[in-house]
């Protein structure tokens, strides 16, 4: 077990003891067997999927474990972008291949990381937990406005199978309907070639009014702050949004797609 995992386990033992909770009590609270908790705490086995999120809830840590996972595992370029994400007043996200990370369910995120084929289950769990921890920016004291545009093909790509997709698309509907600071648009499949085929990106507007962008590829992400490049990405955003359905029609399409995954 690596040093990163040992740090998490030390924190688990410390927080459990501070709350005067036995291993058996923690096991009941997170719906795992006492032997599983004992083996995790003694480093005899890897934490199963969902372990750290459940431990956060059971021990009332305020998300400490998932945040620690994110801090311990993120490369510098990701930490740079997350800093922009946390202070942004507006986030504009376009995705033509997968659901944006800030809107993914845990099952969808894990299915994506498993599909890459490079990670063992422990690394899949760590990366998924780190991604879910980032979603706290949408529920903090001063959350940004998030405007997300998705290509319809994102909604119909079977990531993790029908049950995972049904849950994921339903979550998008719920966010679009219930969260006033989240607005979703869908570019319908009937649209031909448009600027979105060039790739996904996120634009963050910072408190001073300046924009920075984030581009992702197979190897790593890039934080873009050069003025001319940011202006070019902003122009692409405006063109892409012009091809997208308005919010209500997008919600209707999302609802239709969610139902299609049930059949």
Q: What is the pLDDT of residue 70?
A: 66
Pair 56, 151 in one domain = no
Pair 250, 134 in one domain = yes
Pair 10, 38 in one domain = yes
Pair 60, 158 in one domain = no
Pair 209, 249 in one domain = yes
* Residues shown for the chain: 263
**pLDDT one-digit tens code per residue, 17-57:** 999 999 999 999 999 999 999 999 998 887 877 788 899 99
CA-derived radius of gyration, the chain: 20
* Rounded Cα distance, 134 and 85, in Å: 9
95, 151 Cβ separation under 8 angstroms: yes
Higher pLDDT, 263 or 53: 53
Pair 182, 220 in one domain = yes
Pair 48, 134 in one domain = no
* Rounded Cα distance, 234 and 125, in Å: 34
* Rounded Cα distance, 115 and 126, in Å: 15
Q: What is the pLDDT of residue 111?
A: 96
176, 250 Cβ separation under 8 angstroms: yes
CA angle 254–260–263, rounded 5-degree value? 155
Domain of residue 42 covers 3-71
Q: What CATH number should be reported for the domain holding residue 61?
A: 1.10.260.40
Pair 83, 51 in one domain = no
In eight-state DSSP terms, residue 135 is: G
pLDDT band at 127 (very low <50, low <70, confident <90, very high): confident
Q: Does pTM surpass 0.85?
A: no
pLDDT at 9 over 70: yes
Decide which of 71, 97, 122 is a domain's last residue.
Answer: 71
Pair 15, 140 in one domain = no
Decide which of 40, 71, 102 is a domain's last residue.
Answer: 71
The mean pLDDT value for 155-179 works out to: 97
Mean pLDDT rounded to a whole number for the chain: 90
Question: What is the three-state SS of 29-94?
Answer: HHCCCHHHHHHHHCCCCCCCCCHHHHHHHHCCCCCHHHHHHHHHHCCHHHHHHHHHHHHCCEEEEE
Pair 65, 90 in one domain = no
240, 94 Cβ separation under 8 angstroms: yes
pLDDT at 5 over 80: no
Decide which of 14, 41, 71 is a domain's last residue.
Answer: 71
pLDDT band at 221 (very low <50, low <70, confident <90, very high): confident
**pLDDT one-digit tens code per residue, 48-92:** 777 888 999 999 998 888 777 766 655 666 667 788 888 999 999
Q: What is the pLDDT of residue 211?
A: 95
Pair 133, 67 in one domain = no
Q: Beta-carbon neighbour count of residue 42 at 10 Å? A: 10
Q: What CATH number should be reported for the domain holding residue 234?
A: 3.30.870
* Rounded Cα distance, 123 and 33, in Å: 22
pLDDT at 226 over 70: yes
* Rounded Cα distance, 210 and 234, in Å: 12
Structural domains counted in the chain: 2
Pair 115, 243 in one domain = yes
Task: Annotate 95-119 with b (16+ C-beta within 10 A) or e (fewer).
Answer: bbebbbbbbbbbbbbbbbbbeeeee
CA angle 113–169–191, rounded 5-degree value? 95
Q: What is the pLDDT of residue 78?
A: 67
């Amino acid at each position: 077990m690596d040093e990163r995992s040992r740090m998490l386990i030390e924190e688990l033992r410390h927080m459990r003891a501070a709350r005067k909770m036995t291993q058996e009590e923690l096991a009941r609270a997170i719906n795992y067997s006492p032997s599983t908790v004992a083996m995790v705490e003694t480093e005899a086995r890897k934490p199963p999927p969902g372990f750290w999120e459940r431990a956060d809830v059971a021990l009332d840590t305020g998300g400490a474990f998932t945040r620690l996972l994110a801090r311990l595992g993120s490369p510098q370029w990701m930490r740079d972008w997350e800093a922009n994400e946390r202070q942004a007043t507006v986030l504009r996200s376009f995705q033509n291949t997968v659901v944006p990370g800030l809107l993914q369910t845990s099952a969808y995120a894990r299915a994506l990381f498993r599909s890459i084929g490079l990670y063992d289950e422990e690394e899949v769990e760590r990366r998924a937990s780190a991604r879910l921890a980032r979603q706290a920016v949408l529920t903090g004291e001063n959350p940004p406005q998030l405007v997300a545009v998705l290509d319809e093909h994102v909604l119909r790509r079977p990531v993790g199978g029908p049950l995972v997709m049904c849950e994921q698309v339903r979550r998008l509907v719920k966010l679009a309907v219930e969260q006033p600071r989240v607005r979703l648009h869908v570019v319908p499949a009937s649209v031909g070639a448009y600027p979105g085929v060039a790739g996904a990106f996120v634009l963050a507007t910072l408190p001073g009014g300046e924009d920075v962008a984030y581009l992702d590829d197979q190897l790593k992400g890039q934080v873009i702050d050069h003025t001319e490049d940011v202006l070019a990405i902003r122009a692409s955003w405006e063109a892409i949004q012009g091809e997208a359905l308005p919010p209500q029609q997008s919600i209707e399409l999302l609802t239709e797609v969610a139902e299609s995954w049930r059949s």
